[in-house]
Amino acid sequence: MKFKTASLSQNIKFRAFVGFAVVLFLFKQFFGLNNAITFRILNEIFVILTAAFFILYMFDFIRAKKINPLSLIMNIGILNAVIFALITFSDPILNWVFGNVKERLTKPDLIISIISFLYGFVFISSVSYIFFTFKELYFLKQKKNVSTYFNTMIIFFIVASFASVLNPYPELNYIKTTFLIISVILIFINSIRISWIAFLVKKEKISLLILSVVIFILFIVNLANSSDSHLHGQVLINFSSSLDQFMNLMMIYGIIYFGILFFTTLFHIPTAEAYDRKTQEISSLQYFSKLINQVLDFKELSETITEIAVKVCNSDASWIIWIENNETKPLAKKNIGIVDTNLISDYILSKIKKDSDSKTLLLNLDKFEDKGKLAEKFYSLAVSPVKTHNEVKGYLVAAKKNDFIFDDEDKNAMDTFSDYASIAIENSRLLEESIEKERLEKEFDVAREIQRKILPAKNPELENLSISSVFIPAFEVGGDYYDFFELSENKFGFVIADVSGKGISAAFIMAELKGIFESLSKTFETPKEILVKANEILHRTLDRKSFVSAAYGVIDLNNETLTISRAGHCPVLLIRNNIVRNIRPSGIGLGLNFTEHFVDTLDEIHLDLKEDDLIVLYTDGITEAKNINLDDFGNVEFEKILVENSDKNVDEISNKVIREVTLFSRNISQHDDITLVILKWKQKLNIVGENKWQNSAPQLQTKVK
Amino acid sequence: MAEFSTSVADKGEVSTIYLKGFLDAHTAPMLENTFSGLIDNGKYSIVVNFKELAYISSAGLGVFMAFIEKIRENSGDIKLSTMSDKVYNIFDLLGFPLLYEIFKTEDEAINKFKETKKLES
């Protein structure tokens, strides 16, 4: 909507401008030679109206652009150069093309009218544009909208210009002169408002100084050339005396304005550098405070820090000496090579006391022995500690070359800046840590999920063996594994294992174990054979640092025997008649040795099972459960609970154990998986040799135990 | 968090690594660095002194496995010494005594190296 109305009003201004231009042209065509005062006044009114709408139309065009004082100045300069060229060349060219123009002006034909009209128009536009530009410069960086003086000046400009209609009456010249003088005074007053100079950087100030001299001279030349004696002046006066007068006023404005501008700029130059630095400091800090919230990458952050450090204290180079695990390394070198960085860093660290105050330290390389080895002639150094939690994590270094030194301003800037840098670095570190923590948590979630799926969903139900199993994962998931295998009608296998290490890698090895034992238990019969084969298979996949402790057992349900082999795992416990027996046949953990030595040292134990025998399999998560003093839960306590509760059913026993362990470890996080499997042998109250009995005379074969 | 540190002392041609504190998955890399450092310097006769070791986890045990092959290839060895009963029990369960020589004192371990050297020469 806004855009539409804007273009609509623009359109109206443009139409009004074209309309008045046509009226002016026709008026000139018919009444151009009439010198009566009324016609002269009408002529001037038409010119002023045309010019006014042209200016209004142009305003909308130019205001949309971003205003830069130097480009405005440049515009004025270029227009002045154009005017200069027009004035200088109009005389010879017009006379050469159209013969004696001066004479033809008195009796104008259509061609001369058109030429004169166009000529007048070029000046209307260029002078209007210059005026418009002056206006923009005037309002640039004004804090208050002090337009009274300027508006008054505009009024006087118009009146003074308009007064030129009285030119034919020399006795009334004083009117024109009065307005002219007041206008000039107002020009002076308005030309002092050039505070925008202060906001230019040093380079811009220098180019402004040069530009203002050139433009100042151009204005003087143009003013001198636009007198009545030149053809230009005559053509213009013929077109409109107000325009001629207005142009002269503009030239005067230009001379005064650029004169003042030149001297003001000249006086500003000595302080330009200080001003530059202040603005740079402010903009750097703003830039940096924004960054604090954005930083995700420590490396990127340190690069930005050194980049800004260079700007903040006008140094040639900057880098960070980062201290981690008692090792120092240079980070984010800016404008300096690795060799120089290392040499100077070492020097700084030898000079600096770790507990010295937190402020920036200024050093120079006068006494630096290896000065000659430096590729570039760095001389002065400013060193600020970078602190997090009041601990010095490193130093921010800025360096200047040759004889340049750091002054108090630089030191203060470094002080402030290194505080900001410290905060940003701390934020970045915290962020990195929390991301890492989250990643670990995710990893452990995945590992826990794998583990849950691999372990038996429920305990097998057997006639004369009751089974209970409990598994409690730790936060940092370990690799505990247990499983049951119904090998045949009368053989039942079980395995318990613990993979070294934690997390995803342990969970994967555990998954592999599941496959290995699942398939081996179908192919091989004895626990020893199975563990030997499992060791061979693991040889292909386990890395050197990983190993698995495992125990594999087979219960012969018919013969009521238990066969067990153990590869590095905790002993299997047998509780019979309130006495605990550690079943601990010799055997090296899986993955620790792949030679015949493994096979030779792996023993197998055979036992007869008795009524109410408890077979307990566990991982060291139970016996090594810690309390707040980091004491172990221990075997003794574990065995005691087992014995005391051995008459209960398997679920009650395992509940009791878990409750005691949990109580022992309260207020401390569980550091390893806990696995507890309890088997209880229930002897057959029924018949031994059932099969035989079914095929023959029952009463003879039956034997009740 | 539990602390762990290692230190190394050279006694003749034998280097002894002293372990202190808690050796687990988090601190195992420190011990790995210590071993790597010795191997890089061509020191393959290594005694590990467990006197001040409070705890060792499975990941800690793995460190010894990581280097033994390379050390034995260079006719060196890792000998373990001065273990508390608790730590010995962990090694024993896993069958480490079948893979490593474990001595009651550091001197015994060092002497064993010397004897072996004499026999060879």
Instruction: Note whether A373 and A476 are same-domain residues.
Output: no
Question: Which tens digit of pLDDT belongs to each residue from B61-105?
Answer: 999 998 998 999 999 999 999 999 989 999 999 999 999 999 999
Examine residue A326 and state whether it is found in any structural domain, yes or no: yes
> Is the Cβ–Cβ distance between A358 and A385 less than 8 Å?
yes
Verify whether the Cβ–Cβ distance A500 to B62 is below 8 Å: yes
A140, exposed or middle or buried, with CB in 10 Å at 0-12, 13-18, 19+? middle
Question: Which tens digit of pLDDT belongs to each residue from A190-212?
Answer: 888 787 887 787 888 888 899 99
Task: Suggest the residue from B31, B94, B100 to mutate for an interface test with chain A (most A CBs closer than 10 A).
Answer: B94
CATH number (domain holding residue A300)? 3.30.450.40
Verify whether the Cβ–Cβ distance A545 to B98 is below 8 Å: no
Give the closest-approach CA distance of B36 to chain A in angstroms. Answer: 14
Count of structural domains, chain A:
3
Residues 6+ apart with CB under 8 A from B56: B23, B24, B50, B87, B90
Residue type, position A282, single letter: I
Q: Does A547 touch chain B (CB under 8 A)?
A: yes
Scored b (16 or more CB within 10 A) or e, A145-182 reads eeeeebeebeebbbbbbbbbbbbeeeeeeeebeebbeb
> Which of B54, B59, B69 has its CB closest to that of A501?
B59
Q: Does A568 touch chain B (CB under 8 A)?
A: yes
> Which of B2, B59, B95 has its CB closest to that of A589?
B95
> Is the Cβ–Cβ distance between A199 and A65 less than 8 Å?
no
Q: In this predicted complex, what is the ipTM? A: 0.91
Instruction: Note whether A426 and A461 are same-domain residues.
Output: no
Instruction: Note whether A633 and A490 are same-domain residues.
Output: yes
Instruction: Note whether A417 and A307 are same-domain residues.
Output: yes
Examine residue A170 and state whether it is found in any structural domain, yes or no: yes
Instruction: Note whether A157 and A211 are same-domain residues.
Output: yes
Work out the percent of chain B whose per-residue pLDDT is above 70: 98
Examine residue A420 and state whether it is found in any structural domain, yes or no: yes
Examine residue A448 and state whether it is found in any structural domain, yes or no: no
Residue B121: is its pLDDT beyond 80?
no
pLDDT at position A702: 40
Confidence of residue B2 (pLDDT cuts 50, 70, 90): low
For domain B4-112, give the CATH superfamily. STAS domain (3.30.750.24)
Helices A272-294/A298-312 angle, 10° precision: 170
Instruction: Note whether A409 and A514 are same-domain residues.
Output: no
Verify whether the Cβ–Cβ distance B95 to A601 is below 8 Å: yes
Give the structural domain span for A257.
66-268
CATH number (domain holding residue A555)? 3.60.40.10
Instruction: Note whether A390 and A470 are same-domain residues.
Output: no
* CB within 8 Å of chain A, chain B residues 3-62: 25, 54-55, 57-59, 61-62
pLDDT at position A501: 84
pLDDT at position A190: 84
Instruction: Note whether A263 and A394 are same-domain residues.
Output: no
Verify whether the Cβ–Cβ distance A586 to B98 is below 8 Å: yes
Give the closest-approach CA distance of B110 to chain A in angstroms. Answer: 24
User: In chain A, what residues touch B25 (CB-CB under 8 Å)?
Assistant: 476, 501-502
> Is the Cβ–Cβ distance between A568 and A549 less than 8 Å?
yes
Q: Find the closest chain A residue to B62 by CA distance.
A: A545
Residues 6+ apart with CB under 8 A from A77: A211, A214, A215, A218
Instruction: Note whether A551 and A503 are same-domain residues.
Output: yes
Helices (H) and strands (E) in chain B, counts: 4, 5
pLDDT at position A371: 75
Query: Where are the extended beta strands (E) located within A577-704?
Result: 579-583, 604-608, 614-618, 674-681
pLDDT at position B44: 93
pLDDT at position A357: 63
Instruction: Note whether A500 and A579 are same-domain residues.
Output: yes
Question: Which tens digit of pLDDT belongs to each residue from A672-686?
Answer: 889 999 999 987 655
Distance CA A583, CA A561 (A): 14
Q: Does A36 touch chain B (CB under 8 A)?
A: no
Verify whether the Cβ–Cβ distance A568 to B69 is below 8 Å: no
| CA atoms within a 13 Å half-sphere pointing along the CA-CB vector of A436 | 7
User: In chain A, what residues touch B63 (CB-CB under 8 Å)?
Assistant: 545
Q: Does B98 touch chain A (CB under 8 A)?
A: yes
Give the closest-approach CA distance of A358 to chain B in angstroms. Answer: 30
Verify whether the Cβ–Cβ distance A500 to B59 is below 8 Å: yes
Distances (CA, A) of A669 to A69, A433, A505: 68, 20, 21
pTM of the predicted structure, to 2 decimals: 0.54
Distance CA A321, CA A142 (A): 46
User: In chain B, what residues touch A571 (CB-CB under 8 Å)?
Assistant: 93
pLDDT at position A685: 59
Residue ranges of chain A with pLDDT lower than 50?
1-4, 689-705
Could you tell me which of A605, A609, A611, A612 has the C-alpha nearest to residue A582?
A605
Helix (H, G, I), strand (E, B) or coil at A182: helix
Give the closest-approach CA distance of B99 to chain A in angstroms. Answer: 8
Distance CA A575, CA A495 (A): 18
Examine residue A49 and state whether it is found in any structural domain, yes or no: no
Q: Does A544 touch chain B (CB under 8 A)?
A: yes
Examine residue A285 and state whether it is found in any structural domain, yes or no: no
Distances (CA, A) of A650 to A467, A494, A642: 6, 16, 10
Verify whether the Cβ–Cβ distance B63 to A545 is below 8 Å: yes
Instruction: Note whether A484 and A405 are same-domain residues.
Output: no
pLDDT at position A62: 64
Q: Does B99 touch chain A (CB under 8 A)?
A: yes
Examine residue A47 and state whether it is found in any structural domain, yes or no: no
pLDDT at position A146: 62
Instruction: Note whether A505 and A380 are same-domain residues.
Output: no
Verify whether the Cβ–Cβ distance B25 to A502 is below 8 Å: yes
User: In chain A, what residues touch B66 (CB-CB under 8 Å)?
Assistant: 544-545
φ and ψ of A152, to 5 deg:
-60, -45
Question: Rg of the Cα trace of chain B?
Answer: 13
Distance CA A185, CA A192 (A): 11
Examine residue A349 and state whether it is found in any structural domain, yes or no: yes
Question: Which tens digit of pLDDT belongs to each residue from A229-245?
Answer: 677 777 777 778 888 88
Q: Does A505 touch chain B (CB under 8 A)?
A: no
Residues 6+ apart with CB under 8 A from A637: A660, A664
